[in-house]
Amino acid sequence: MPPDTSTSDQRQDAESWATLKRFLPYLWPEDNLSLRRRIVGAMVFVILAKATILALPFAYKTAIDAMTTPANEGMMVALAFVIAYAAGRFASVMFDNLRNITFERVGQDATRQLAEDTFSRLHQLSLRFHLSRRTGEITKTIERGTKSIDIMLYFLLFNIAPTALELIAVGAIFYFNFGWELVAATALTVAAYIYVTRKITEWRNELRRKMNELDGEALARSVDSLLNFETVKYFGAEERERRRYGAAATAWADAAVKSENSLGALNITQAAIMNLLMGGAMAFTVWGWSKGELTTGHLVLVNTYLMQLFRPLDMLGMVYRTVRQGLIDMAEMFRLIDTEAEVKDVPGAPALLVKRPSITFDHVHFGYEPERTILHGLTFEVPAGSNIAIVGPSGAGKSTIARLLFRFYDPQKGRILIDGQDISRVTQESLRAHIGIVPQDSVLFNDTIGYNIAYGREGAGQDDIMAAARSAAILPFIERLPDGFETEVGERGLKLSGGEKQRVAIARTLVKDPPILLLDEATSALDSRTEQEILRTLKQVSRHRTTLAIAHRLSTIADADRILVLDHGKLAEIGTHAELLRHDGLYAEMWARQQAEKSQDEAEPA
């Protein structure tokens, strides 16, 4: 491969153009004629506003020249052009605002569509991606990307493009009124102005990029700390968290000071270049007036045009920085969209059709990392309508089975079948529609109890919610609450107890009404009394379903039809509770140990 001889700036420019080109379909949607008409209308108002602005200096010049003649001859002319000048200024403001009103819907729709596409893509990405990325950083990337779009569009369409048109028009006006000398001086000055602005702004962009990194780090630390609020309290680490967040915030503040100081240097440099041209151009006009070639109005004409020209150029540093930063932020969003999904539907994948909800693991090999295999050729079958339990020591691969069954990951080798159909060959949506889960840690949305129960199936009605709550044995508790089903559960459901959260999770699964039920250590985080109540509920709701129960406490699955004992990712034993105890193997050893621990706990004084 030849060496990369392109400079960093060249690569950034190429990336920026690629990002802008990719964004254009959002700005000019092929399937929305109304929005495209709005864009055309907005550009018409841009041209009208710019044409009015370019005509104003001539009205001003004519009024000044008229005032140099005797009052009785020039008063009416001067008055007419003064009125025309005022009317033109009003018209330019009106056209600008009509342009904004016309374009607002376009900008908002483009922003909304891109944000929706990014959000949708995030839900398509694998569990591995979400476990390896911080939620705060992802949300900040989306926030910065969406916020930058509207501002960036405004500058691109209504600042840079009109300014380029104005530069060409002013060059033509100066040539026909003052000659090529002033055109050349203006062109050289504008070129120097743009060059210096770009160089300083590139330096400032590096500072800004560092600020964004530090800002994301500070946000990620704050979100992580607040999500672990209880853990912070348990360990009395409030001061430690304050120092940790403070270090990130201080680093961001230092970067912000450097960025603001660099802005001062940019403004001073821009003012020096602009005023050198202004002074030189006006001196040139005075010299022409002294020779009788130019009038007093020409001085006003030059001054007005240069003031109008440099007003948008004066913002060039901010515009350039905003556009470049907007492109960087948009590129980050596009990188999220472009992140390769680890688990994908095969082209033309059919929906899963389940008549007999059986589950088969056929020589499944899997590891989260290539060098660390979790499952070693695991093979077992769960007959339709049966209640099968999976047990084993920690790290044996029990929870991995649940993740593979939901296709959060695909096995490296082997197949997983439901009703004889390879789940890697059907759509993920249809697969997950047939499986319900009650996990160990049931995380709820920060909404009402009713919303969380109804989340099991889109379109679930109040009767469905009531029936599910009754079957999950949580309806009496809800009816005792002042707000009933409208009771807010708090962040991650923290306003509810562990047992209450589990019952809401069970009700949510009942609303879904899946033929396959997965219980992933659903009671291991509960106390003994609550565990027994939840187990009775689970036993009732698992009737007439194929149930796969992953358990740590063996007493919770002793009545299962069959028990699969895993050890180091392999099937070590299989049988009923009684058969496995008689076998006197790993299961019997685990049972004896847990019974001994239980007896010791009961013997200890309260």
pLDDT digits (tens, 9 = 90+) for 261-301: 877 777 788 788 888 887 888 888 888 778 777 778 778 88
pLDDT band, very low/low/confident/very high, at 6 (cuts 50, 70, 90): very low
Rounded Cα gap, residues 366 and 24, in angstroms: 42
Question: In the prediction, which pLDDT does 361 show?
Answer: 92
The H-assigned helical ranges of 125-160 are: 127-132, 135-155
Is a pLDDT exceeding 80 seen at residue 438? yes
Range 329-334 average pLDDT: 78
End-to-end CA distance of the chain: 73
Q: How far is CA 372 from the centre of its chain?
A: 32
Long-range contacts of 281-284 (CB under 8 A, 24+ apart): 281/182, 281/185, 281/186, 281/306, 284/178, 284/181, 284/182, 284/185
* % of the chain exceeding 70 in pLDDT: 90
Residue 235 scores a pLDDT above 90: no
pLDDT at 506 over 80: yes
At the top level of CATH, the class of 349-434+514-606 is alpha beta
Alpha helices in 179-237 (DSSP H): 180-227, 229-234
The predicted structure's pLDDT at residue 4: 39
Instruction: Centre a 10 Å sphere on the Cβ of residue 46 and count the other Cβ atoms it contains.
Output: 20
Only one residue has tokens 């704050």, namely: 222
Per the rule left: phi > 0, alpha: psi between -120 and 50, beta: everything else, 64 is alpha
CA dist 523 and 521 (Å) reads 6
According to the model, what pLDDT value does residue 202 have?
76
pLDDT above 60: residue 2: no
Return the bridge partners of 421, or none.
418
pLDDT band, residue 418 (cuts 50/70/90): very high
Q: What type of residue sits at position 256?
A: A
In Å, how far from its chain's centre is CA 309?
38
Q: Are strands 421-422 and 570-575 parallel, antiparallel or unpaired?
A: unpaired
Secondary-structure class of domain 8-338 per CATH = mainly alpha
pLDDT bucket at 362, cuts 50 / 70 / 90 = very high
Gap between the Cα atoms of 404 and 428, Å rounded: 12
Calculate the average pLDDT of the chain.
80
Evaluate if residue 3 carries a pLDDT over 80: no
Average pLDDT over residues 514-538: 75
**Amino acid making up residue 519:** L
- Is 60 exceeded by the pLDDT of residue 7? no
Q: Is 315's pLDDT higher than 60? A: yes
The first and second tokens of residue 542, run together, are 């698992």
Confidence of residue 409 (pLDDT cuts 50, 70, 90): confident
Of these ranges, 64-73, 209-218, 505-514, the one predicted with the greatest mean pLDDT is: 505-514
Phi and psi at residue 585, in whole multiples of 5°? -110, -140
Q: For residue 149, give the amino acid letter.
A: I
Per-domain residue ranges of the chain? 8-338, 349-434+514-606, 442-513
Cα radius of gyration rounded to whole Å, the chain? 35
Greater model confidence, 604 or 447: 447
- Helix/strand/coil for 464: helix
In this prediction, residue 416 has a pLDDT band, given cuts at 50, 70 and 90, of very high
* Tokens read off for 567: 């050890």
Give CA separation, 147 vs 35, 263, 333, 539, in Å: 20, 22, 12, 50
**pLDDT reading at 9 higher than 60:** no
- The domain 442-513 is placed in CATH, from the list 3.30.465.10, 3.40.50.300, 3.10.530.10, 3.40.920.10, at 3.40.50.300
pLDDT for residue 525: 58
349-434+514-606 and 442-513, same CATH topology:
yes
Nearest to 216 by CA among 322, 139, 149: 139
